[in-house]
Amino acid sequence: MYLSKPYHPKRSKKLAVVDIEGFRDFQNDRMISYLVGVYDPNFDRARYPKWDGFTKFNDRDCVNSFLDRYLTKSFRGYVFYAHFGSIFDFPIILQELNLRNKFKIYPIMKGSKIIKMKIEDDNQHVWYFNDSSALLNFSLDELTKTFKVSHRKLHVADKDDNYDMNLFKLYKKNPAIVTEYLKHDCMGLYEVLEKFRNEMLNIGGDLGLTIASTSLKTFNRKYQKDFFYMCSKNINDELRNAYFGGRTEIFRLYAPELKDSFYYYYDINSLYPFVMRKYAYPISKPNILLTPDANVYMENDGITYAHITTPDKLYIPLLPAKIKLKTDTKLMFVLGSYDGWWDNHLLRKAKELGYSIEPKKAYIFDSEYIFKDFVNDFYKIKQNAKSGTPMYLIAKLLMNSLYGKFGQRQISESIIKDPFPDPEKYDVKEIIDIETGWCKVEEEGKGKMYLPQIAVHVTAMAQLCLYKSFEEILDKGYKVYYCDTDSITTDYKNMKTSKELGDWKLETRILSGYFVLPKTYKIIDDKGKVELRAKGYSRKLQAKIDKDAFENAIFKNDFTGFKVKSDKKELLRAKASFRRFKEFNHLDYIRRSLQTTYNKRKILPDFDTSPFSYDELII
């Protein structure tokens, strides 16, 4: 199979925007909707010269009134965008649609978020609902300012924990103000999307469902010069075993305040675009070697399955491994002997470090510099654009979003409402609700962008860039405290920095730091400002973490300070709500806690760490 060279934009579907206003009913644990706004620019302007395309529904059953009006033959094929629809609008719409047996529902998930819903009726008429935050993951206020559209986000009520009720009370008092507010939200979002798509078309690209698919469409249409060979699913599944993503590790849990110096948080300027531009990437039909020679990884680009043995003493091992622990699978860097799949460039560096490597199988590719023009063009656009402008934003997003599309899984799991799923399209794994027709299914993607060897090579070269800096710091007698994909926290202050692509930049000077888990830490900068990060916690929930939680976790193994609960009940994400309550519109408290110590490396008495051996982890 091939990823075809030319890309031809499909005929544009009719786009509209929907937005729902509602408030939390804590007595019945549900959202009450009181106003729905729709902006549809696809009307006959000659027939309705004084209408601006905005429609409101403000009756007691406003959501159903909207669905009755627009899920009809006249509007089939429409795409309705809702900004952060997965958080608010989609659960409310799903709740109503779930009661209508005539509709089948096919959500597309990205993690816990519904980024798209396909709705189909008995006559096979289809409508779509897309979450525009999958394209532009910024607040509507930021977007309308950045794109300088006519209808900016209005601010009409106090923005606090009772914002939904504040807005409703204002609506009861002065409905015209809130209706105008809703109108600006709908028309402003449409204007942002139109400007964004026009900019993409002017550049030579096109709009996709997500920013990553937009980046891929742009690359295919303007920059792809050759045919790329796409392997079978079985081969791609093997190649994906070498796809590890970014490296996030804690090396020292505690960085105490120093007498006459600081710690330094460095970040690489656009790491992934840098390695995409600098290196050649595998695009050919692979040569499959079932009995490769000992130096196959030294002489060829590709991916090799090998048995490796690490040096006995290595503070920071190089090769990643996916280790199955009791509760989950973690990406770890361990010592010892084990089998795995790795990019050949990683294996070359491992050989230099003293790893013993016995290749067992190899996929060998011809490589070309496929991303150089793409990165050069968008990096130039970013440099020439003023920070905060649409072109600066677009260039930055497109450069960083492309590579991951090549590494996505071909089999996706989703929950759909369809009493009789097409067996040629869906593999039914579980019947969730036989009365309504909800079931869990797996579906094989039909795209031609499944090229995991490209994503593998991007992340491998990025990891090598990071590792080179580890070596520099340790060789000079300094310490690495923490790393996260393209950043390092260290006590070494002389890292070479510049504004050039791929060079380090100094982000923060740090007085002290507490690193509890990956992406969960507390740092105090040289001006005394405290920065907290806790993976899985919203900003509101992070603010509720006890001020001594990080210290207690490290020094006392006490994680109770991380146990928090939202002050009020919130609308749950659709997937979580349906799993727990068998309905989509449901309120509950949001709770978060930490219950485990750092387990990717062994913690030593002085809060330093050392790598585990493979045998220590495998039961």
Which residues lie closer than 8 Å to 453 by C-beta, 6 or more apart? 239, 281, 282, 286, 302, 303, 363, 365, 406
Average pLDDT for the chain: 93
Find the mean pLDDT for residues 359-371: 97
Cα 92 from Cα 279, distance rounded (Å): 47
Share of residues in the chain with pLDDT > 90 (%): 81
Give mean pLDDT, residues 575-592: 92
Q: Which is it for the CA torsion 41, 42, 45, 47, positive or negative? A: negative
For residue 6, is pLDDT > 50? no
Tell me the CA distances in angstroms from 84 to 93, 99, 145, 414, 536, one per residue in order: 13, 23, 17, 19, 18
Q: Return the CATH number of the domain spanning residue range 8-208.
A: 3.30.420.10
* Rounded-to-integer distance, Cα 495 and Cα 524, Å: 21
Pair of tokens at residue 232 = 């079978």
pLDDT grade for 9, boundaries at 50, 70 and 90 = low
Single-letter code of the amino acid located at 433: D
109 forms beta bridges with 114
How many other C-beta atoms lie within 10 A of the C-beta of residue 62?
A: 19
Nearest one of 31, 129, 131, 140 to 75, comparing CA atoms: 129
Cα–Cα distances (Å) from 392 to 147, 274, 375, 571, in that order, read 11, 17, 14, 34
Among 64, 66, 99, 30, residue whose Cα is nearest residue 585: 30
Position 567, amino acid: D
Mean pLDDT across the stretch 516-537? 96
Q: Looking at residues 467-488, what average pLDDT do you find?
A: 97
The domains of the chain are located at: 8-208
**615 pLDDT higher than 80:** yes
Q: What is the pLDDT of residue 4?
A: 45
Q: Taking residues 236-254, report their average pLDDT.
A: 95
Which pair of tokens denotes residue 539?
């900003």
